[in-house]
Structure 1
Amino acid sequence: MREPVITVKNISKSYNISHEMKANTGTVTFRDAIINTLKKPKELLTGHLMKKEKFWALKGIDFEINKGEVVGIIGKNGSGKSTLLKIMSRITEPTTGEIVMNGRVASLLEVGTGFHPELTGRENVYFNGSILGMKKKEIDAKFDEIVAFSEVEKFLDTPVKFYSSGMYVRLAFAVAAHLDPDILIVDEVLAVGDAAFQKKCLGKMKQSAAEGRTVLFVSHSMSSVSKLCKKAIFLKNGKVVKHGPVEKVIDAYSREDLDIGPTRKFIKPRGSEIFLQDASIVDLKNKKNNILNFGDGFNIEINVKSSRQIDNIRVGIGMMHEDIAIRTVWSEPSSINAGLYKFNFKFDDLLLATGNYYFNIGLDHHRENIQYFDNALNIEITEGIKNKTNANVLADYSSNSGIIKNQPGYTLEKA
């Protein structure tokens, strides 16, 4: 029986959050006013009181991971994934419980952690190596390999505060993956960067696992998790819903997503100047609705918010059915000013077979990903009301096998 490399025992994490409420404006005696002012002078002067509440980001988490395993951690935004990784990376302490980590740990969490912004790329490589307990000679031996993998050699002597998010992640991943950690922890930051580099990173993580290292990988991309991982953990509301073979865990997560609804709100990435705010399925009556009849067209409206003028922005949608990609659409590169913008994608030319369909949504800048969400929205296509028109439409296309029922037009002529 293999001894676990990571043991998580009854981990919980709570935060105190404050809610603003109006101060009491009813009848207050002079004595009450004096006492309240002495107790909370700032709140009374501003006319607001703060109500505190305990929020549990994680509650009673238990699991073990063995040497050489690659484990995906999945769940919606706010499920506790990043909090768990921060505790495992010793960035924050748990409220209760303990984690035993056997070996050297390297973490790649949100953009902005791990590197000192005033140091150059070169200096940060050595800085991170020293944090991992490596000697300069050991880092020297890996340095050229790190630089080649990151593809930022031209900017190696530039302070990383001037790096784009894509450049930053390239170097950060190269450092974390090449400095021989026993345990590699990677949060969903790989969504920042181009597809070729993401593929390169997935390959490196597979190689690390083959060499006996343990990898924990958080991602919203179920295709990446299924390709890379043999096991997965599904978190919801700070608790483990399922832990086991990756196919079964992803299936449990996908079934949860049947209740997404017609609108999805997104969490703004920390420090981002442009981000996806929300997305909605809108029917042809201009109502938010994700349960549609066979033959009905629909639109997907995506709101993007920017704090300044930015050019070469694109929004993309990938339509999926049971892990099959049906259609991928990108907007034309656009230049937008500060404010809120709506991207409207029309899906009025498809006759889809009855069933459930999912939409992955992404935002990129100069073709580098800023945000990406698997299963961001879903629709259900039903047979609809059994009337003559509907029955005729269904009958006309029932003989066509496959997901898309309408067929492309064609002509026949002598060549």
Structure 2
Amino acid sequence: MSNDIVIRAEHLSKEYRLGVINHGTLYRDMQSWWARYRGRTDPNAEIKDIATVKRDHARIEGDLFHALDDVSFEVQRGDIVGVIGRNGAGKSTLLKIISRITAPTRGYIGLKGRVASLLEVGTGFHPELTGRENVFLNGAILGMSRQEVASKFEQIVEFAEIGQFIDTPVKRYSSGMYVRLAFSVAAHLESEILLVDEVLAVGDINFQKKCMGRMQEVGKSGRTILFVSHNLTAISSICPKAMLMSDGKMVHSGDTASVIKSYISEAESGGGDAFYRVNPGEMDGQAVIYQVAARNARDQYSGSLELTEPFSVEMEYELRQPLAGLSVGLQIIADDGFTCLYSLSDPELDITRLETRQAGKYKAVVNFPACLLNTGSYSIRLGISSRFSIYSVAEGIRFDVVDNVGIIQMLGQNRKPSLSALQLPWQVEKL
């Protein structure tokens, strides 16, 4: 590799062998085996929608699943690169290969320098050791001497804001304390490459801002960062470059604005459909969002919403077990990747959100007034989370806001130069 290239991937592929799951009875197992032996369709196979079947067939060959498929790229020293894509696109698998957690099935990955990674809450921490001991343990894993870690220790503790708990075993830490200390260790120790996954999303707002600022400082110091996130606003604000993953492949790389535009384009977002539906039985997790729909003023599913009329977004989700501190969130993202609206069904200051919500199926609806959004194309991202956990995410739902009445055109414009087209009340009186 040249002196300026610190990460090089050439035709990188990763395959996993699918496990064989029985049907619960010997009769059905034999029935499925006999059908496969005769080359016929398995009578006990699950019914799936066409899109799911096409996607599965594209990534499954026999009993092998292609988590990554022929991925090649280069990252230069000092680059801050965002990695985006839908759930299951292969982003986390890519970071695990770069961090040497798992090995590629085929291809080559070359690194120049030490790698610090924050892929999961408490990565590399031993639960029985104290925070202090884990800081030195992580430093040793990264190949640093005790003196190097000691020189950064006070900065790490101060950034993590856990000074009074630093000599407490980390098994007694909350998830937020885990994240703060783990990120602080990864960001302050002298590694040349920093890998950060979506784990930062479980922190509070103030900590997320600190993390973003720290990553910008790290980038200015000449270190290289790969940042995986669904938060497109964060990606666009700190990452000059980005890569888009889809179905295990690298489909676009370059400047962040163009990559985000590709991500939310019609091809990646499912054809501009304002209706999202998955089979909850095929989804794992404690909570699953299985249906999302945009409805116009006449309560019809629609991907084209009138500027001067109200509309709504409804979602249906399932809780598999009682959960406390739950919140359902919605983001409206413009076609340039900017998050122009964020709303929670259970605000942080609402004390009722701390109550346990029982298992079962739920429906949530949020209503939008007329003229709230300007004309243009938008995508919706929804999530179910608590303070320290993200349970489910649904994204790729798209809709357009159009002006069929012609208010904006009467002003000689195609679009108002603002995020919102809201008509505010004015009072005018003669003095």
Q: Same fold (TM over 0.5)?
A: yes
Q: Deviations over 1:268-292 (max 9, x none)?
A: 9x99755655533234554443333
Tell me the residue number matched to 1:92: 102
1:252 is matched with which residue: 252, 259, 262? 262
Deviation at 1:94, TM superposition (A): 0.5
Tell me the residue number matched to 2:205: 195
Q: Deviations over 1:207-242 (max 9, x none)?
A: 222222111111112221222122211111111112
Q: Which amino acid aligns with 1:132?
A: L
Work out which of the two has the higher radius of gyration on C-alpha atoms and give 1 or 2: 1
Q: Deviations over 1:100-127 (max 9, x none)?
A: 1111111100225322233332222122
Tell me the residue number matched to 2:114: 104
Kept after mapping to 1: 8 A contact 2:257/2:337: no
Q: What is the SS of the residue equivalent to 2:63?
A: strand
Q: Mark the CA change 1:282 to 1:111 in structure 2 (over 3 Å): closer, same or farther.
A: farther
Tell me the residue number matched to 1:330: 344
Q: What is the SS of the residue equivalent to 2:366?
A: strand
**Equivalence map 1:268-307=2 (5 Å):** 273=286, 276=289, 278-307=291-320
Tell me the residue number matched to 1:79: 89
1:378 partnered with 2:398: yes
Q: Mark the CA change 1:23 to 1:284 in structure 2 (over 3 Å): closer, same or farther.
A: farther
Within 2, Cα distance between the matches of 1:329 and 1:3? Answer: 42
Within 1, Cα distance between the matches of 2:371 and 2:269? Answer: 23
1:60 partnered with 2:81: no
Q: Deviations over 1:230-256 (max 9, x none)?
A: 221111111111222222222222223
Q: Deviations over 1:263-322 (max 9, x none)?
A: 446999x99755655533234554443333444432222345445544443333333434
Within 1, Cα distance between the matches of 2:193 and 2:161? Answer: 24
Q: Mark the CA change 1:25 to 1:110 in structure 2 (over 3 Å): closer, same or farther.
A: same
More strand by share: 1
1:407 partnered with 2:419: no
Q: What is the SS of the residue equivalent to 2:67?
A: strand
Q: Mark the CA change 1:369 to 1:290 in structure 2 (over 3 Å): closer, same or farther.
A: farther
Could you tell me the percent identity over the aligned residues? Answer: 39
Q: What is the SS of the residue equivalent to 1:215?
A: strand
Structure 2: any 5+ residue segments left out of the alignment? Answer: 38-43, 46-60
Tell me the residue number matched to 1:208: 218
Within 1, Cα distance between the matches of 2:174 and 2:421? Answer: 44
Q: Mark the CA change 1:327 to 1:221 in structure 2 (over 3 Å): closer, same or farther.
A: closer
1:149 partnered with 2:159: yes
Q: Mark the CA change 1:25 to 1:308 in structure 2 (over 3 Å): closer, same or farther.
A: closer
Task: State the TM-score, normalizing by the size of structure 1.
Answer: 0.80
Within 2, Cα distance between the matches of 1:171 and 1:95? Answer: 33
Within 2, Cα distance between the matches of 1:369 and 1:116? Answer: 20
Within 2, Cα distance between the matches of 1:159 and 1:169? Answer: 15
Kept after mapping to 2: 8 A contact 1:351/1:405: yes
**Equivalence map 1:106-255=2 (5 Å):** 106-255=116-265
Tell me the residue number matched to 1:43: none
Within 2, Cα distance between the matches of 1:309 and 1:258? Answer: 32
* Aligned CA-pair RMSD: 3.5
Within 1, Cα distance between the matches of 2:285 and 2:121? Answer: 10
Structure 1: any 5+ residue segments left out of the alignment? Answer: 29-35, 37-46, 385-392
Kept after mapping to 2: 8 A contact 1:301/1:344: yes
Within 2, Cα distance between the matches of 1:326 and 1:80? Answer: 27
Kept after mapping to 1: 8 A contact 2:375/2:403: yes
Within 2, Cα distance between the matches of 1:346 and 1:358? Answer: 16
Kept after mapping to 2: 8 A contact 1:19/1:52: no
Tell me the residue number matched to 2:18: 17
Task: State the TM-score, normalizing by the size of structure 2.
Answer: 0.77
Corresponding pairs, count: 385
Kept after mapping to 2: 8 A contact 1:8/1:61: yes
